[in-house]
């Protein structure tokens, strides 16, 4: 339910912006966000998932279903389309931001910046689109409730974690609203700050040595997850030439997908042309991509929700074989939010993704760009490209414990606020969320109810797989 608030005040009128937020709160009280009740005529969740699979690679769809079938949490990760449909029926303040569109807890983590700093930020923007800030926050809070149930946390532990997400968002947004303009825009969280903060929490007895150790381990592991590590796992030297190792159906070299009548030389020329065009979407007139030569390419299955869309690993070579670059080219389609919000201003789906990511992240990958490619089947598809495994690190949901999850919840809430504060009116949002815990309590209640809905949808999904309506592959 998209509520119209009227024209936003001028960005230079800070008092009017705050009043605009308070007016939104009077129209749509914070308590109105509490709870979830499925509306009459709610779409069949299995039918929505079937519809979403229509444009995907048919032989990969069963792998996606198998990954979603693992638990209600993995199902939640792959079911952004279901929650988008549900969120469109809920109240919202009328204040818009650039949405991530799929802001669950596993889409936050560490990554390396072009300046070689390790930042904590959001890292998946396939569904990004302007929309109500509440949608991202509700999806994030509900993801902690779903994951907490999966890990066996009790009711009190989950409620405390859920409230912490919202409190982190609310307090960080309030600080941003009161900050000097450039301080708010440049605000970011790096790995050293995370580690130092966890130690402060330990000294205040809000965390223990275990949380400090796990944080240090996550940061150390992220620094080892670079292109060279991925290179050692994915690439081998075959007859003096670097090639990506086949592991079908999860990794399939380009030549194994080539239709009859298509030559190796035609593929090489087409890919080189694509890479030249891709360079035009990268920042700066002089970019290091120009010094790399194309070597090989393979389709690679990634993630949970993205399985079935086309994703490629592109191997490039610099000065020598020990100077490689691995890029990931990932297909993006229309955001799942577009059927409920205004369509993207960008005709190219991946320009939407890249520009949204550059707006929301504190810093973005040096190799982040986009390209439209016509496949062997004659269909044009949109891809964004980025460096593969450049200092990547994330929380393992299977190892979550209540104390550490609560710390992580605060960091994720604050990180989402930073992203929304760059793209939306941080002053108005801060005025709306206020200083009390009213929104915290409302969204914790929403998360609990929506986790019940997720479990019902998961049961319907599992039944559809068991009955043969949806295929699922053991290779998932």
Rg over CA atoms, the chain: 22
State pTM to two decimals: 0.91
Q: How are beta strands 380-387 and 369-374 bridged, if at all? A: antiparallel
Q: pLDDT tens digits for 326-339?
A: 999 999 989 999 99
In whole angstroms, what is the distance from residue 54 CA to residue 103 CA?
24
CB 299 within 8 A of CB 311: yes
User: Which of 54, 106, 77, 58 has the alpha carbon at shortest distance from 473?
Assistant: 58
The reported pLDDT for the residue numbered 390 is: 67
Q: pLDDT tens digits for 124-156?
A: 899 999 999 999 999 999 999 999 999 999 999
The reported pLDDT for the residue numbered 297 is: 93
Listed in sequence order, the DSSP H helices in 320-379 are: 349-360
What number of H helices and E strands is found in the chain? 16, 13
- Burial-class residue 241 by CB neighbours within 10 Å (0-12, 13-18, 19+): exposed
In whole angstroms, what is the distance from residue 30 CA to residue 436 CA?
10
Which residues make beta-bridge pairs with 393?
A: 110
Residue stretches of the chain with pLDDT short of 50 = 476
User: In 3-state terms, what secondary structure has residue 11?
Assistant: coil
The reported pLDDT for the residue numbered 61 is: 92
The reported pLDDT for the residue numbered 45 is: 97
Question: CB 19: neighbour CB atoms within 10 A?
Answer: 15
The reported pLDDT for the residue numbered 224 is: 72
In whole angstroms, what is the distance from residue 373 CA to residue 270 CA?
9
User: In 3-state terms, what secondary structure has residue 260?
Assistant: coil
In whole angstroms, what is the distance from residue 37 CA to residue 452 CA?
10
The reported pLDDT for the residue numbered 398 is: 82
Measured between alpha carbons, how far is residue 447 from residues 70, 73, 124, 257 in Å? Answer: 21, 13, 21, 43
């Amino acid at each position: 339910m998209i509520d119209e608030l009227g024209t936003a005040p001028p960005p230079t009128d800070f008092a009017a912006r705050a009043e605009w937020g308070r007016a939104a709160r009077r129209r749509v009280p914070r308590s109105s966000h509490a709870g979830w009740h499925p509306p009459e005529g709610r779409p069949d969740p299995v039918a929505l998932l079937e519809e979403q699979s229509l444009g995907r690679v048919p032989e990969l769809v069963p792998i996606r279903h198998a990954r979603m079938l693992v638990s209600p949490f993995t199902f939640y990760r792959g079911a952004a389309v279901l929650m988008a449909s549900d969120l469109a029926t809920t109240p919202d303040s009328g204040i818009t931001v650039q949405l991530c569109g799929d802001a669950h807890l596993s889409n936050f983590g560490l990554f390396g910046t072009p300046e070689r700093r390790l930042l904590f930020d959001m890292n998946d923007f396939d569904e990004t689109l302007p929309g109500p800030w509440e949608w991202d926050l509700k999806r994030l809070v509900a993801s902690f409730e779903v994951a907490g149930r999966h890990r066996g946390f009790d009711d009190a532990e989950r409620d405390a974690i859920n409230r912490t997400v919202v409190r982190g968002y609310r307090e960080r947004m309030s600080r941003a609203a009161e900050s000097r303009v450039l301080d708010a825009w440049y605000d970011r969280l790096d790995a050293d700050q995370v580690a130092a903060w966890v130690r402060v929490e330990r000294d205040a007895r809000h965390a223990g040595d275990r949380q400090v150790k796990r944080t240090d381990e996550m940061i150390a592991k992220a620094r080892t997850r670079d292109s060279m590590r991925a290179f050692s796992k994915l690439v081998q030297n075959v007859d003096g030439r670097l090639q990506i190792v086949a592991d079908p159906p999860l990794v399939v070299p380009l030549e194994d997908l080539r239709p009859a009548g298509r030559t190796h030389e035609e593929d090489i020329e087409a890919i080189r042309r694509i890479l030249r065009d891709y360079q035009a979407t990268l920042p700066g007139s002089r970019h290091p991509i120009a010094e790399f030569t194309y070597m090989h390419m393979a389709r690679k299955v990634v993630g949970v929700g993205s399985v079935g869309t086309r994703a490629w690993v592109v191997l490039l070579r610099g000065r020598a074989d020990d100077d490689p670059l691995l890029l990931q080219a990932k297909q993006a389609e229309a955001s799942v939010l577009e059927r409920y919000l205004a369509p993207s201003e960008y005709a190219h789906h991946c320009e939407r993704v890249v520009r949204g990511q550059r707006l929301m992240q504190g810093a973005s990958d040096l190799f982040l760009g986009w390209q439209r490619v016509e496949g062997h089947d004659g269909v044009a598809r949109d891809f964004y490209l980025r460096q593969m495994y450049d200092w990547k690190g994330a929380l393992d949901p299977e190892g979550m414990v209540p104390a550490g999850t609560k710390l992580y919840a605060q960091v994720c809430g604050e990180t989402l606020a930073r992203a929304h504060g760059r793209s939306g009116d941080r002053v108005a949002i801060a005025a709306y969320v206020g200083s009390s815990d009213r929104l915290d309590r409302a969204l914790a209640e929403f998360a609990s109810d929506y986790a019940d809905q997720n479990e019902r949808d998961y049961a319907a999904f599992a039944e559809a797989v068991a009955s043969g309506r949806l295929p699922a592959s053991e290779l998932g």
